[in-house]
Structure 1
Amino acid sequence: MGELSSFFAVAGCCTKQIPLRKNMIMIIIMWKAGNPTYQPRKIAMNEPQTPTETRFADLLDPYESWLRWGNPSKPYSEHTIRLYLREVGAFIAFLDKNMIEDVEEVTNAVFRQYFAQIAQNGAKATTVRAKLSALDNFFEWGYLEDIFPLNPAERYKRLVSRRGRGGRVESRLPEVLSESQIDELIYSISSENRKETPRNLAIVGILLDTGIRVSELLGMSVQDGINMIEGQKLRVFGKGRKERSILPLGQFSDLYRGYIRNKTGIDPAMRQQPLFTTKTGRPLTQDAVYRIISRHLGKIGLNVHQKGAHLLRHTAATLMLRQGVDIAEVQYRLGHSNVATTGKYLHVTEG
């Protein structure tokens, strides 16, 4: 303490013209810098850390992207987007608190417990319905995106509407493009005289020929593309970094062969760079792919519930089944962990 007092006396002579608050701050900083016994606090490695989020929480960003870009003909308002994200986030926090990490564990009993807590806080019936509507939107998006094998919120909504009589509800079938709609989409993109038109056509062609996810598409390197047009299987890494090898159907190869051939002149040492990039050479993002395809779907006047690049994945699965590809092979190509998820496309082909 004596050292600090003497330091104040010395420092005071050079800080008389500085306001008191700044004066004290400067003195303390100078003392810390000149005192060899001062040690800054070190954070212990065993201090509490932020808990790891559940897999539901990891879906909030792609869900928000879909809300913003997935339905250009009937866009959600900013108010609705904020409402849905808030309500879904609150429900995910509830699931996390109760250690529920799988959609099949989200039973009617879970919904009853959740909404009972909300009712105890004085929520009106209209508020509860709005919250349930937001959850139904989230789970239906996940179902149509092949993330969930079912929509548990829709099942609970039917249970509530029947006042407890229950009954299993089948979720909406995935929407797919007809052959004429595919042609219209391709024409819409090709009619644009833009530098990125060949890239956009290649994106559509690969998605339709393989059924891979957008994240898997954007994980392709230039070398992956070259290998594919040379007849080799395409190696992709899906959820959980699970690897699978896919041989494209080839029905839409004319949409991407030219784009990839133009990449063959790249130095072999640089062929591990992304196949799909922006005009400035940066890797293309999932949001950008959704915007590109959603914009063209809107231009050709498609009034379908599910928009965006994932609609092409649904279409690819249906095309495979219609061409006689075995359902187990389709399951493998799409990277589904459960064949029941793939089975919903059989109903589309039968319709």
Structure 2
Amino acid sequence: MIHPESYLSDFQKWLSGPNFEIPYSSASIKGYVANVRRFLDYIDSEGLEEMEDISVGLVKRWIVQGKSGIAPVSTQMVRYSAIRLFFDWLQYAHRFPFHPAQALQEEKRQNRQVGGRRGGRGGNQQKRLPPVLDREEIDRLRIEAKRHETIAGYRDAALVDFLLSTALRAQEAVTFRLADLNGYYTGRIRVIGKGNKERLVRFPPPPKDSLELWLYVRKRMPSTADTLFLSDQGKPLSAAMLYMVIRRLLERTGIHKPQAGPHLLRHTAASLWLAEGMDLRRVQENMGHSSIVVTSRYLHLL
């Protein structure tokens, strides 16, 4: 018989400990532990005697089942995130022989490839996925932003790195203050976003070179503004000006996307976080999305 408490206590300590570059919030930890508890209760009800008896099919059934049919996508995403972390811990702490959550993800990827080759017109119309830059396009954009050794050139290079690190909205980026730079350097900034709601954005420590060059130039500009980014005339950058800066950079780089402003870099940052292993719930909190379903769109871009 499987005893949940013997696993949950150590799993919770692992989530709370110094094992992650960006620590999990207490609310996230509580949610993950609660979902793993439900999973362990489920496999116990299925009559499993040992953890090693868990199969990919069993994990899949628990993730997708609802009270009356299939669970909502948001519920499935939260369950999958919890299970993935749980088996990460099992492999880390107990050298567990396999990772059913990873196997499930690989199965889904293969099925998607097969479905793509088959084609066809059936099924529901897919929602439009957010446009993003791939890594080669990101490199090209960064190179182009650094090409001109001017006030605008130094600022634009810092702007690109800033937006790709934080995924802030245009208005949030242009109102970011110099006083909050320490938080940016450590990957923890508080932002007042849509609806005057405050959120904590946590991300891997960002590149510093471009920002330090911009700060060196900015100190020599006759400006009393307390915002990080300024126009060539030393005035606070507006959201409309930021849009023009990014759009012109993309045009000069030869990159053409359905979106051509700072929101493109916001989408790109979210997809990069997921590609680098950031948890879906964390990405949702960083982006300020009210629903995890919105955030889950980025999973299809990996």
TM-score (norm 2): 0.55
Q: CA separation of 1:340/1:271 partners in 2, compared to 1, >3 Å: closer, same or farther?
A: farther
Q: State the alpha-carbon separation in 2 of the partners of residues 319 and 334 from structure 1.
A: 13
Q: Answer whether contact 1:222 1:271 (CA < 8 A) is retained.
A: no
Aligned match for 2:271, one of 310, 318, 328: 318
Q: Deviations 1:268-304 (Å, cap 9, x if unpaired)?
A: xx99711111122211111111111111111121222
Match of 2:151 in 1: 195
The gaps in structure 1 that reach 5 residues or longer are 1-165
The match for 2:228 is 275
Partner SS for 2:144: helix
In the aligned structure 1, how far is the partner of 2:217 from the partner of 2:182? Answer: 10
Q: 1:265 to 1:284 in 2, by over 3 A?
A: closer
Conserved in 2, the CA contact under 8 Å of 1:204 and 1:255? no
Q: Secondary structure at the match of 1:236?
A: strand
Bigger Rg, which one? 1
Matched AA of 1:348: L
Q: Which amino acid aligns with 2:193?
A: G
Alpha carbons 1:276, 1:283 under 8 Å: kept: yes
Q: Residues of 2 paired with 1:179 and 1:324: CA distance?
A: 16
1:260 to partner: Cα distance: 3.7
Which residue identity lines up with residue 306 of structure 1 in the other structure? Q
2:261 alignment partner in structure 1: 308
Kept in 2, the 8 Å contact 1:222–1:260? The answer is: no
Give the aligned partner of residue 68 of structure 1.
Answer: none
2:300 alignment partner in structure 1: 347
Matches within 5 A, 1:32-71: none
**Partner SS for 1:281:** coil
> What's the CA shift string for 1:212-261, capped at 9, x where partnerless?
111111111111124422x2621111111111122332353433243246
Report the secondary structure of 2:125's partner residue: coil
Taking the aligned partners of 1:348 and 1:245, their CA distance within structure 2 comes to: 24
Q: TM-score with structure 1 length normalisation? A: 0.47
1:204 aligns with 2:160: yes
SS in 1 for 2:151: coil
- Distance in 2 between the 1:262 and 1:192 partners? 13
Q: Distance in 1 between matches of 2:219 and 2:199?
A: 24
- SS of the residue corresponding to residue 170 of structure 1 reads coil
Q: What residue in structure 2 maps to residue 243 of structure 1?
A: 198
Matched, 1:174 2:174: no
The aligned counterpart of 2:170 is 214
Q: Given residue 196 of structure 2, which amino acid in structure 1 is its aligned partner?
A: R
> Bigger CA drift: 204-213 or 194-203?
194-203
> Contact 1:222–1:263 at 8 Å: present in 2 too?
no
1:105 matched residue in structure 2? none
Contact 1:221 1:271 in 2 (8 A): no
Deviation at 1:188, TM superposition (A): 1.0
Structure 2 regions of 5+ residues with no counterpart? Answer: 1-121
**1:338: how far off?**
0.8
Q: Does the 8 Å contact 1:218/1:284 carry over to 2?
A: yes
Aligned to 1:70: none
Q: Which among 236, 247, 252 is matched to residue 294 of structure 1?
A: 247
1:224 aligns with 2:180: yes
Hey, what's the Cα distance between the residues in 2 that align with 1:243 and 1:265?
Answer: 32
Residue type of the partner of 1:202? A
Query: AA paired with 2:166?
Result: T
Q: Say if 1:216 and 1:238, in contact at 8 Å, map to a contact too.
A: yes
- C-alpha change, 1:248 and 1:261, in structure 2 (3 Å) is farther
> Residues 163-205 of structure 1, C-alpha deviation per residue, up to 9 Å, x if partnerless?
xxx9742222111111111111111111123222111111111
Q: SS state of the match for residue 205, structure 2? A: coil
Query: Do 1:221 and 1:275's aligned partners in 2 also have CA atoms closer than 8 Å?
Result: yes
Q: Is it true that 1:337 corresponds to 2:295 in the alignment?
A: no
Deviation, 1:305, is: 1.5
Flag the 1:271–1:325 CA change in 2: closer, same or farther, 3 A: farther
Q: Please provide the CA RMSD for this pair.
A: 2.5
